[in-house]
Amino acid sequence: MMSAQPKADGAILTVDDIVVRYDTPEGPITAVDNVSFKVRPGEFLSVIGPSGCGKSTLFNVIGGLLSHHAGIVNVAGETISGPHQSIGMVFQEESTFPWRTVIDNVAFPLELIGMGRAQRAERARHFINLVGLEGFENRYPGELSGGMRQRVSLARTLASEPKILLMDEPFAALDEQTRLLLGDKVLQIQQQLKQTTLLITHNITEAVQMSDRILVMTYRPGKTKRIVDIDLPRPRTSEIVTSDAFGHYVAQIWNDLREEASRGMKDEEAHVLHHEGPSS
Amino acid sequence: MAETGRLRQTAAPLISPVTLLRLAIVLGVLAAWEFLAHSGWLYRDVVPSLLSIGRALAGLLGSFEFYFNLGVTAAEIAAALAIGGLSGLVVGILLGANRFLSRAFEIYLYYLGPTPKIIFFPVLIMWFGVGPESKVALGTLSCFFPVALSVAAGMRQIDKVLIRVGASFRASALQMVLKIYLPAMRHPIINGFRLGFGFALIGALLAETKLSNKGVGFLIINAYSTFDMPRMYAMLIVLFVLAIGANALIGRLGALDRIERL
Amino acid sequence: MTDAAAPRRSPPGRFIAPAVGFAAIVGTFALGEVLVRIGAIDRYIVPPPSEVLGSFYRIVAEERVFSRFLYTGSECLIAGVLLTLFGIAGGMLMHRFKLLQQAIETWVAALAAAPLVLMYPLFLVIFGRSMWTMVIMGFVSGLPPVILKTIEGIAATRKVLINVGRSFKLSAGQQFWKILFPAALPTIFVGVRLGLIFALINIVGTEFLINFGGLGHLIADLAERYDLAGTYAAICFVILVSVLFFIALEKAERWLRPVD
C-alpha cells in the first residue's frame, strides 16, 4: 500500500533532485526542495499537495517552461532543456485560442510541424471524437461551456501524440459533477491510448480515482512527503468513489495533507498580519 | 384582435423620437445657416447659401480634377499607412515582447506620440522634396506612433497562458508571431490602425495645404486663396464624409468577430 | 522569455534598461554628428546636431521665444477653458436629456474621428489672421473628447453609490452634485486632458500653417528664412514644450485620482 521509493527502471520520465529557489522582496524562497521520482510507461501518476506546495512550479519545470532550477528532468533517455516534444502540457487556465474554431484549435500542433491540410483535419477529427466533441468542429470556443473548452485543450495536446501527458489541475475551474465525468473521460482515453500521464492536482478524490500512484507533497518548501500505490482494479470509472478501499485511500491521503494544509493556512495568516496583504 | 394568452405589443411609432430629434436638429441648423447666408451680417460668402454649396458640391463630384486629386491624397495615405503601420507593428511587437527593450525605449514613443507632427514638415521637405514623398513621410511619422504604442500594449495584454501553449508546442518565433501574437491582438491592432489612419489623413492633408500642387489639401487651400467659399465648403463636406466613413469601416472590421466572447 | 521564475529586482538594476535606452539615443545623435561632419550626410539638409544645440541659445535670445511661448500658451489657456466649460456642460446636458444623448452622441463621436483641423482655412476667413483662429481651432478639436468622457464618467458611477444616495433620500440635484459628479471627475479629467492635448497640437499646427502666432509661427518663419539649424532647434523646442505639457497633465491627473 505504501512505499518509500518508486520502482526503478524502464522509466520513461525521471525527475531527479529538482530544487527551485527564487528571490522575493521578503528574501529567498525554496518552492521545490529535492523532489525526485520516476514514471513508468503507461502509468498514471498524480502529484497532490496543498496550495503553495510548489506543484505548479514542478509542472513548469517538467514541461520545460522553467529553466531556473537545479536537478535534471530526463525523458526517454534525453535530458530536457526547454519544452520536449515527448511531453504534452494541458494548462489549468482557459487556453483555447478564441479566434480559432475547435478543429483549428486541435490541429494547431499539427500545423506547427507542417502537416498537410487534409491530414491535419483527419487527425484532429479523430481526437475531437475521442474527447466526445464530435459535431462541434466548426464552433468557436466562445460558444462552448468551460468543460467543453478544457476537452478541446486536451484534444489539442493529445493530437501532438506526446509520450507523456502532463496536466496541471485541468478541472480546477469546473464544478464537481462535470469534474467527475470529465475524469471518467480522461481515464477512458488514458486506458485506451495507454497514455503515460502525470496529473498535478489538489483534489484527493480525483487523484485516487485516476492514479496508479500518488506522490504527496509537503507545504513549502515542497518535498516528497509520501508515495502511495493505489491498488484499485482497472478499468475504473467514477463509480469507484463509493467503494470502501477508495474511502480508505482518501482518508489516508487526507491525513497527510491535513498537516500540510493547516501549516499553509497558518503561514498565510502570519503573512497577512506582518505584511500588507496575502503572499500571492 | 388580441390573441388569447399573449401580451399585446404596442405598435412601434413609425418614426422614433430619436430620429425626429435628429431631423429637427439638422433642419434647424440648415435653416439658421440659410438665414445667416442671406442676412448680410457676415462678409459675402463666408456663409454661402445652401444652394451655392449644393451647386459647388455637384460640380466637384462631377469633375475629373477632383477625383484625380482625391486619388493623389488617397495614395499618399495608403503609402503612409503601409510604411508607418508596418513599422509600427514590428516595433510594437518587439517592445511588447521584450521587457528590457520596452523599459529602454517605449517611454520615448509614449511622450513623443501626442506632439504636433506637422511642424516636422519643413525638415521632411528638405529630405524628400516638394512632391508627394514628403506628404507620405509626414503621414508615416504621424501614423507610426499610435500603431506602435497600441501594439506594444496589446502584446502585454495577451493572455499569458496562450503564449505558454505556443511554447509548450515549441512554436518558432515566426510561428508565435503569425499564429498567436497577431490573432490575439486583432483588436488593439485594428484600433491602432484606426487612430493611425486618422493621424495620417490629417498629416497628409495639412502638408498638402502648406506646400503642394496636388491633392485634396491643395484644392482646399486653392479654393481659400481664390475665395471660392462654396467650393471649399463642398470639399470639406466630402472630406469629412469620407474620413468618418473610412473610420467607421475600420471599426466594423473590429466588430466582425463577435462570436468570441471568452 | 518563457521563464516563470521571479526576476531579481535590486534597486540599482532597475535603471539599467532606461539608461541603455538613453545611451542608445545619445549614441545615435553622436553617430549623426560624425556622419554629417565627414560629409556622408549633406550638411545643407541635415545640420550637425552640435550646431542645432548651439542654435538654441541664439533662437531663444533673438526670436523672443519666451513671449511667443506665452502667446501660444494663452491661446491654449483660453481654448482650454472654453472646451472644459462647454464640454462638461454639454456632457451634463446630454446625460440629463437622454433623448438628446441618443440623438447626437454618435455624431460627437464621429466628429472626434473627423479631421477637424482641416477647417482652419474656414476659421481663417471668419476670424482673420488673429489669435482667435487658433483659439477656435483648439476649442473645436478639443471639445468632443470632453463631452464623451463626461457622459461616460457620469454614466459609469457604480450602482451602489447611487443607491447610497437614494437611501439618504437625496433630491435629483443633490444626487447629481454630491454623488454623480464627484464620482465622474476622474474620467472627466481624462477627457479634459485629451481635449487639451488635441487643442495644443491643433493650435501649434495652425500657427505653423497660417504663419501667425507664437511657437508654430516661429518654426514656419525660420524655415522660410532657410535657417536650417534654427528650424531644427525650434522644432526640438516645441516638442520639448509639448512633452512637458503632457507630463504636467499626467501629474495633475494622478493628483486627482490618488487611489486607483
Task: Give the C-side interface with A, CB within 8 Å.
Answer: 2-6, 8
CB contact under 8 A, C4 and A65: yes
Give me the sheet containing A213-217, strands edge to edge: A2-3, A224-229, A213-217, A44-48, A196-201, A164-168, A87-90
CB contact under 8 A, C115 and B112: no
Does position C258 have pLDDT exceeding 80, yes or no? no
Contacts of B170 in chain A (CB under 8 A): 82-83, 85, 112
Please name the member of B168, B169, B260 whose beta carbon is closest to the beta carbon of A99: B260
Does position B216 have pLDDT exceeding 50, yes or no? yes
Neighbouring chains of A at 3+ CB pairs within 8 Å? B, C
Which of C118, C126, C190, C202 to substitute to test the interface with B, most B CBs within 10 Å?
A: C118
Q: Is C126 on the interface with B (CB under 8 A)?
A: yes
Helices (H), C41-171: 49-62, 65-96, 98-113, 120-127, 131-155, 159-167
Residue A176 amino acid letter:
E
Contacts of C2 in chain A (CB under 8 A): 65
pLDDT of residue C211: 92
| Helices B229-255/C120-127 angle, 10° precision | 140
Evaluated on CA atoms C144, C147, C152, C153, the torsion sign reads positive
Residue of B202, B104, B95, B98 whose CA lies nearest to B149: B95
Residue of C210, A108, C235, C56 whose CA lies nearest to B112: C235
Which of B165, B172, B257 to substitute to test the interface with A, most A CBs within 10 Å?
A: B165
**Percentage above 70 pLDDT, chain C:** 94
Residue of C nearest to B237 (CA): C119
Cell of A19: 530544487
CB contact under 8 A, B261 and A63: no
Which of C1, C2, C3, C10 to substitute to test the interface with A, most A CBs within 10 Å?
A: C2
pLDDT digits (tens, 9 = 90+) for C157-190: 888 888 888 888 888 888 888 888 888 888 999 9
What residues 205-244 of chain C have any CB closer than 8 A to a CB of chain B?
205, 208-209, 216, 219-220, 223, 228, 231-232, 235, 238-239, 242-243
Tell me what ipTM this predicted complex has. 0.86
CB contact under 8 A, A94 and B257: no
Please name the member of B98, B119, B243 whose beta carbon is closest to the beta carbon of C113: B243
- Total Cβ atoms within 10 A of residue A172: 15
pTM, whole model, 2 decimals?
0.84
Which of B115, B201, B239 to substitute to test the interface with C, most C CBs within 10 Å?
A: B115
Q: Which residues of chain A have a pLDDT value below 70?
A: 1-9, 276-280
Quickly state the pLDDT bin for B7 (edges 50, 70, 90). Answer: low
Domain at B77, CATH number = 1.10.3720.10
**Cβ-count burial of C251 within 10 angstroms (0-12 exposed, 13-18 middle, 19+ buried)?**
exposed
Give me the sheet containing A78-79, strands edge to edge: A27-39, A13-24, A70-75, A78-79
Contacts of C216 in chain B (CB under 8 A): 116, 119
Mean of the per-residue pLDDT values of chain C: 88
CB contact under 8 A, C4 and A23: no
Give ∠ CA A58-A59-A60 in degrees, rounded to 5: 90
**Alpha-carbon distance A110 to nearest alpha carbon in chain B (angstroms):** 10
Strands A164-168, A87-90: pairing kind:
parallel
pLDDT of residue C41: 82
Contacts of C4 in chain A (CB under 8 A): 57, 60, 65-66
pLDDT digits (tens, 9 = 90+) for C15-44: 888 999 999 999 999 998 999 889 888 888
CB contact under 8 A, B17 and C113: no
Q: Is B217 on the interface with C (CB under 8 A)?
A: yes
Cα distance between the two ends of chain C = 30
Q: What one-character DSSP code corresponds to residue B180? A: I
Contacts of A140 in chain B (CB under 8 A): 259-260
Residue of C nearest to B221 (CA): C121
Does position B11 have pLDDT exceeding 70, yes or no? no
**Residue B252: inside a domain, yes or no?**
no
Residue of C nearest to B42 (CA): C126
A50 vs B167, residue with greater confidence: B167
Please name the member of B169, B175, B261 whose beta carbon is closest to the beta carbon of A160: B169
CB B80 within 8 A of CB B134: no
Q: Which residue has cell 452622441?
A: C105
- Total Cβ atoms within 10 A of residue C114: 22
Contacts of A96 in chain B (CB under 8 A): 262
Q: What is the CATH number of domain C59-256?
A: 1.10.3720.10
Q: What stretch of H or E contains C30?
A: helix C16-37
Domain ranges of chain A: 2-86+163-274, 94-161
State the Cα torsion B69-B74-B80-B86 to the nearest 10°: -160
**Cβ-count burial of C15 within 10 angstroms (0-12 exposed, 13-18 middle, 19+ buried)?**
exposed
Contacts of B169 in chain A (CB under 8 A): 83, 108-109, 112, 160
pLDDT of residue B258: 53
Tally of domains in chain B: 1
pLDDT of residue C235: 93
Q: Is C197 on the interface with B (CB under 8 A)?
A: yes
CB contact under 8 A, B180 and A97: yes
Does position B13 have pLDDT exceeding 80, yes or no? no
Which of C1, C3, C8, C14 to substitute to test the interface with A, most A CBs within 10 Å?
A: C3
CB contact under 8 A, A57 and C4: yes
Contacts of C122 in chain B (CB under 8 A): 232-233, 236
Q: In terms of residue numbers, what domain contains B149? A: 73-215
**Percentage above 70 pLDDT, chain B:** 92
Residue B218 amino acid letter:
F
Q: Cis (ω within 30 of 0) for the bond into A141?
A: no
CB contact under 8 A, B262 and A83: no
Helix then strand count (H, E) for chain B reads 13, 0
Contacts of A141 in chain B (CB under 8 A): 260, 262
pLDDT of residue A114: 92
**Alpha-carbon distance C45 to nearest alpha carbon in chain B (angstroms):** 6
Could you tell me the fold of the domain covering A2-86+163-274?
A: Rossmann fold (3.40.50)
Q: What one-character DSSP code corresponds to residue C220? A: H
C114 vs B87, residue with greater confidence: B87
CB contact under 8 A, B240 and C115: yes
**Alpha-carbon distance B246 to nearest alpha carbon in chain A (angstroms):** 25
Q: Is B250 on the interface with C (CB under 8 A)?
A: no
Please name the member of C100, C114, C121 whose beta carbon is closest to the beta carbon of B244: C114
Cell of A191: 486506458
Residue A47 amino acid letter:
V
Q: Compute CA distances C83 → A143, C127, C136, C195, C231, whole Å.
A: 45, 18, 10, 7, 31
Please name the member of B168, B169, B186 whose beta carbon is closest to the beta carbon of A99: B186
